[in-house]
Each structure stands twice: as structure tokens, then as C-alpha cells.
């Protein structure tokens, strides 16, 4: 790494990494029964930087029991909404005060640029926290006129109440561990639920720190618990626990389907935010500069490890060659290096296993003579780097054309017209996001309803907002996060019918 540009690690961050970590249960750190541990690596060097507990079933049981006890006690669930809101706003203020610490922890365990950690992950998390805190005081039902006519002369009035669903299990992936973690914690707490959260085993540190800040903000003991561990034992025990009333899962489609199958046995409420293979349709009247700027960001932000990333770009024939040239210049101009170096634009991917997976897609494409345009070479160290890569006009049967690669790899395909682009864009089992690039309003209004995706951007891609619902069509998931109705997924509707 270029040591001159490296951001100095805060003393608070260094000492947090060195701690003898436990599990966050009942408002504090406790020693686990499990003696197994998990190493945490800095993806930019491949070196171990911390160690966490690999929780066993007994440890998970303690966390769920603590959350359940807190829930039934009413210490949080029956608190005045304005008090919950005030504590959650204080919680957001604490993140703001500790912004640099959280940004550094995120970059050190996940690999992404410190610029992205500061300006996107921490800054957006703050926005979402404040938005969601405000939802705590907006929970409401309806009054209902009824037509029940027995016994004769009786009259009835009913109303609906939204009540917190109970104990939530939050399962978090490794690409945006802080932000996605708080997308589970905040709506759960705003609704009055308790939560047990399991971060990805490779990126648990930011959520562990956020648990401490929650207690400091005034969230009562037991309401917010963190168990660290692997998916097969810790994740599975948590999501299949009978005291869990709701699962909020973000991760791969394969894992999500497995959890959904087990949830159906107990009819546990479930929201699934899953994978994507997101198309961008570029029509010949689009502004090429806007397209290249927008889609370079949308394809390579966080090394393409973004569920909403544009990973398939379909370009109308008349501007295809020009755009390929522009993308090639842009990709070859990207500098590669450590996330803690703010001048590096492409950083390491999150793990050695993921680096191998992404490279195996590229090796297959290379072996089958696909046209690959690769950016600068990775630094010469043990870090988990993958050069940013464009794949030009790939065959449909290449694995990387159909699978979610989740890396710095994007395909560019020439299409005859908008109809061919639309057919190819929709020819996937996924349906998370898409974008359409055109200067024609009527074309945009005609095509957007025909694109099978939960979010469609026109002349942009990957821009999300707390007030805009987000979720997938088809196998990209079920349910929606964000927006004014977000807490519906963390509440049950109770009808109360009164005879008078």
C-alpha cells in the first residue's frame, strides 16, 4: 500500500480490534459457551486483524431468551412512541459522533474505500436512522364502520392497531454490514420489537460496536443483541428458533430460500432481500457522458459487491462502439489499492473465497475466448484484489452472463433496439433493479412498466433513499424495506371490534 496516503488508524479502532470479543446479550458483553473463534481479515493485506466468537446453539438460545424476556416485559414494546423516537434519534447522534471510527472499522474488515465508508455507508446509515426513528411516532390504524346486524339493535365499531411482532432475527450479509444491519435494527426498534442480529461471519465488527452505542443511547438491556458466528449453526439456530416471530434476511437467493423453507413450518413472518443481476438499457438518444459516469459508479462501487449494481449493460447498436471505448478508458484509468488509501478507486473484495469465486467466472470466460477488457493489475501482496473487468458481447451460456458475480465485472452487449434490450433484460430469474437511459420521456414512460424489477431508475442507477421502497420482483426477494410503510413488516395488525 502507498503508506503516504494511508489514513491513520484511530487508537479507538486499534484497541477495539485487539479486544477479547464476546457476545452482546442483555445489554452487555458476555463470555460465550462456545470456545470456537472466527478470524477477521483485512482484505487489503490478507492479514488477520481481529477474532470473534463462533457462537453455538446454546449461545444463540441465551440471546433469543434475553430478547424475548425484554419483549414481554414491555420495557421497550410498551414505551411511549415519542420516547422510543427520542432514544433512537440519540442513537443516530452517537453514530454521527463516532462516524470516523465506524467508517474505519468498516473499511478494515470489509475492504471498501474509506471514502465510500464515510460518504456512503456511514452517512446513509445516519439518514436512514433518523428517518426510521421518526416512524416510531407515526404508527397508526384505522377506524372501521361495520355492518354486523345481530342481535337486532346492536351496533359495532371496530378499529385496527399495529402491534410489534415480537422478537426479530436479523441476518446480515458482508457487503454493507453497518448499513444493512441498521436497516434491520432500526425498523425493529421503532416498531417496539426486540432483535437478535447475526452479522456475516467475515464482517461483524461494526454491528458489534453499534450494539454498545445502542445501550449508551438508552435502548434497554435485552432489546438489541448481537451473536457472531457462522451461518450453518448460529444463523440456522437463530432463524429456526420458536421464539422468533419475524426474520429479516438480506443475502443470497440460495440461502434466503433455505431460510424461507424452514420459516414456513412455524409461519414465521419473513422479509427476504436477495440477489440481483441488474440490467441497464442504454438507448441511442442517451447522453453518453451521463451514461458512462452513472454506470461506472453503479457497476464498480464497492467492487461491484452491491445487490443493486448494474451488471449487464445493453446498448443500442448506433452508440455501442463509442460507449465501449469510453468505458474502456474509464476502467483502465481506475487506480487499485487499499481501502484505507483514499486515492484508490478499486479496492479488495471482501474475502479470499470471494476473490477466487469472481476470478473463476473470469477464467471460464477467458477459456471460452470471451472478449475481456481488464483494468490495472492488483497490488502485489496477499490482499483479495480483482482487476475491474468489462466483458464485451458475452455468449448467453457463459456463467457470468446469468449468475450474480457480485464483483467488479460488467457485461456490455450490443442490441438492435429497445425491444431486444427489454427481452434480454427480463430474461433472468432475478428482478431487483434496472435502469433505462434515454432522453425521450415518452420512451421512458412506455418502457418502465415493462421492466420486471422492484426499482427502475431513469438516467441513473443504484441511488436509494429511505423514503423509496426497495425490494425484489421474482427470485430477488419478497417484501419491501424503506418508505412510510416500512414498519408494517415489523408489526401485526389487530382488529378490535366493540359492541355498543
Catalogue the active-site residues. 273, 307
Minimum Å gap between C-beta 203 and ligand NDP is 8
In terms of CB distance, is 113 or 253 closer to ligand NDP?
253
**Binding residue for ligand NDP, selected from 9, 33, 215, 252, defined by CB under 6 A:** 252
Q: Which of 304, 289, 298 is nearest to 387 (CA)?
A: 304
Strand pairing class (167-171; 194-198) = parallel
For residues 76 and 406, which CB has a smaller minimum distance to ligand NDP in the complex?
406
Q: Which stretch binds ligand NDP (CB under 6 A): 86-94, 189-197, 233-241, 393-401?
A: 233-241
Q: Compute CA 365 distance to the chain's CA centroid, rounded to the nearest angstrom.
A: 28
Of 135, 129, 119, 117, the residue nearest 91 (C-alpha): 129
- In angstroms, the CA 115 to CA 97 distance is 17
Select 260 or 282, whichever has its Cβ closest to ligand NDP.
Answer: 260
Q: Please report how the helices 11-18 and 205-217 are oriented relative to each other, as an axis angle in degrees rounded to 10.
A: 110
What residues from 308 to 337 belong to the interface with ligand NDP (CB under 6 A)? none
Sign, Cα dihedral of 206, 212, 216, 222: positive
Taking the C-alpha atoms of residue 465 and residue 470, their distance in angstroms, rounded to an integer, is 9
Signed CA dihedral, 170, 176, 179, 183: sign only: negative
Contact pick of 24, 406, 437, 490 for ligand NDP (by CB under 6 A): 406
Does residue 4 sit in helix, strand or coil? coil
Among 332, 308, 310, 59, which Cα is nearest to 198's? 59
Identity of the residue, 237 or 438, whose beta carbon is nearer to ligand NDP in the bound complex: 237
Q: Which is nearer to ligand NDP, 173 or 279 (CB)?
A: 173
Quote the least distance from Cβ 169 to ligand NDP, whole Å. Answer: 8
Per rule CB under 6 A, count of chain residues that contact ligand NDP: 31
Q: How far is the CB of 220 from ligand NDP (least distance, A)?
A: 26
Compare residues 133 and 207 and give the one whose CB is closer to ligand NDP.
207
First to last CA, the chain: 75
- Smallest gap from Cβ 36 to ligand NDP, in A, equals 12
- What is the footprint of ligand NDP within residues 452-481 (CB under 6 A)? 472, 477
CA angle, residues 336, 179, 131, in degrees to nearest 5: 135
Residue 432 in contact with ligand NDP, rule: CB under 6 A: yes
Least CB distance to ligand NDP at residue 352 (A): 14
Site for ligand NDP in 130-189 (CB under 6 A): 171-175, 180
Burial environment of residue 76 by CB neighbours within 10 A (0 to 12, 13 to 18, 19 or more): buried
Site for ligand NDP in 185-224 (CB under 6 A): 198, 200-201
- Distance between CA 300 and CA 388 in Å, rounded? 8
CB 281 within 8 A of CB 294: no
Cβ nearer to ligand NDP, comparing 8 with 232: 232
User: Which cell is 369 given?
Assistant: 475466448
Of the candidates 50, 113, 206, 255, which one interacts with ligand NDP according to CB under 6 A?
Answer: 255
Shortest Cβ distance from residue 432 to ligand NDP (Å)?
A: 6
Q: Binding residue for ligand NDP (CB under 6 A) from 187, 276, 379, 431?
A: 276
Residues 231, 288, 342, 479: which binds ligand NDP (CB under 6 A)?
231
On the 0-12 / 13-18 / 19+ scale of CB atoms within 10 A, 254 is: exposed
Cell of 28: 452487555
Minimum CB–partner distance for residue 244 and ligand NDP (Å): 11
The single residue among 259, 263, 391, 466 that binds ligand NDP, judged by CB under 6 A, is 259
For 491, the grid coordinates are 408489526
Length of the chain: 500
- Closest approach, Cβ 9 to ligand NDP, in A, equals 25
Identify which of residues 27 and 477 has a Cβ nearer to ligand NDP in the complex.
Answer: 477
User: Where on the chain is the footprint of ligand NDP (CB under 6 A)?
Assistant: 171-175, 180, 198, 200-201, 230-232, 235-236, 239, 250-252, 255, 258-259, 273-276, 307, 404, 406, 432, 472, 477
Amino acid at each position: 500500500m502507498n503508506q503516504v496516503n494511508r489514513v491513520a488508524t484511530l487508537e479507538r479502532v486499534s484497541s477495539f480490534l485487539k479486544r477479547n470479543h464476546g457476545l452482546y446479550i442483555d445489554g452487555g458483553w458476555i463470555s460465550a459457551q462456545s470456545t470456537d473463534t472466527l478470524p477477521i481479515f483485512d482484505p487489503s493485506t490478507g492479514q488477520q486483524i481481529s477474532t470473534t466468537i463462533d457462537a453455538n446453539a446454546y449461545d444463540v438460545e441465551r440471546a433469543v431468551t434475553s430478547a424475548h424476556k425484554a419483549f414481554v416485559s414491555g420495557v421497550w414494546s410498551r414505551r411511549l412512541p415519542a420516547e422510543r423516537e427520542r432514544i433512537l434519534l440519540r442513537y443516530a447522534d452517537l453514530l454521527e459522533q463516532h462516524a470516523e471510527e465506524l467508517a474505519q472499522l468498516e473499511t478494515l474488515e470489509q475492504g471498501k474505500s474509506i471514502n465510500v465508508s464515510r460518504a456512503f455507508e456511514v452517512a446513509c446509515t445516519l439518514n436512514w436512522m433518523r428517518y426510521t426513528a421518526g416512524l416510531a411516532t407515526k404508527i397508526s390504524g384505522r377506524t372501521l364502520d361495520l355492518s354486523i346486524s345481530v342481535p337486532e339493535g346492536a351496533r359495532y365499531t371496530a378499529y385496527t392497531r399495529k402491534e410489534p411482532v415480537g422478537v426479530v432475527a436479523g441476518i446480515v450479509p458482508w457487503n454493507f454490514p453497518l448499513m444493512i444491519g441498521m436497516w434491520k435494527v432500526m425498523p425493529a426498534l421503532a416498531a417496539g420489537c426486540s432483535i437478535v442480529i447475526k452479522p456475516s461471519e467475515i464482517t461483524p465488527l461494526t454491528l458489534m460496536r453499534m450494539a454498545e452505542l445502542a445501550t449508551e443511547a438508552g435502548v434497554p438491556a435485552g432489546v438489541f443483541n448481537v451473536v457472531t458466528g457462522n451461518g450453518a449453526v448460529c444463523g440456522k439456530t437463530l432463524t429456526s428458533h420458536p421464539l422468533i416471530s419475524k426474520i429479516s434476511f438480506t443475502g443470497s437467493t440460495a440461502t434466503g430460500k433455505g431460510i424461507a423453507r424452514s420459516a414456513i413450518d412455524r409461519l414465521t413472518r419473513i422479509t427476504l432481500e436477495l440477489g440481483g443481476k441488474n440490467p441497464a438499457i442504454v438507448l441511442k438518444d442517451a447522453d453518453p457522458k451521463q451514461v458512462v459516469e452513472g454506470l461506472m459508479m453503479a457497476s464498480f462501487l464497492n467492487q461491484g459487491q452491491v445487490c443493486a449494481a448494474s451488471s449487464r449493460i445493453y446498448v443500442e447498436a448506433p452508440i455501442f462502439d463509442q460507449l465501449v471505448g469510453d468505458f474502456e478508458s474509464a476502467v483502465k484509468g481506475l487506480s487499485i489499492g487499499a481501502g484505507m488509501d483514499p486515492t484508490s478507486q478499486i479496492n479488495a473484495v471482501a474475502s479470499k473465497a470471494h476473490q477466487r469465486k469472481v476470478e473463476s467466472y473470469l477464467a471460464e470466460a477467458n477459456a471460452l475466448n470471451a472478449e475481456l477488457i481488464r483494468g490495472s493489475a492488483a497490488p502485489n501482496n496477499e490482499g483479495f484484489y480483482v482487476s475491474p473487468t468489462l466483458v464485451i458481447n458475452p455468449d448467453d451460456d457463459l456463467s457470468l452472463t446469468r449468475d450474480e458475480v457480485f464483483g467488479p465485472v460488467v457485461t456490455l452487449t450490443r442490441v438492435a433496439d429497445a425491444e431486444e434490450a427489454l427481452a434480454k433484460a427480463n430474461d433472468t430469474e432475478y428482478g431487483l433493479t434496472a435502469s433505462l437511459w434515454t432522453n425521450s420521456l415518452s420512451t421512458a414512460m412506455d418502457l418502465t412498466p415493462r421492466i420486471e424489477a422492484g426499482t427502475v431508475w431513469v438516467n441513473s442507477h443504484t441511488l436509494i433513499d429511505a423514503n423509496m421502497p426497495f425490494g425484489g420482483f421474482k427470485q430477488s426477494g419478497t417484501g419491501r424495506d424503506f418508505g412510510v410503510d416500512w414498519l408494517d413488516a415489523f408489526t401485526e395488525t389487530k382488529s378490535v371490534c366493540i359492541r355498543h
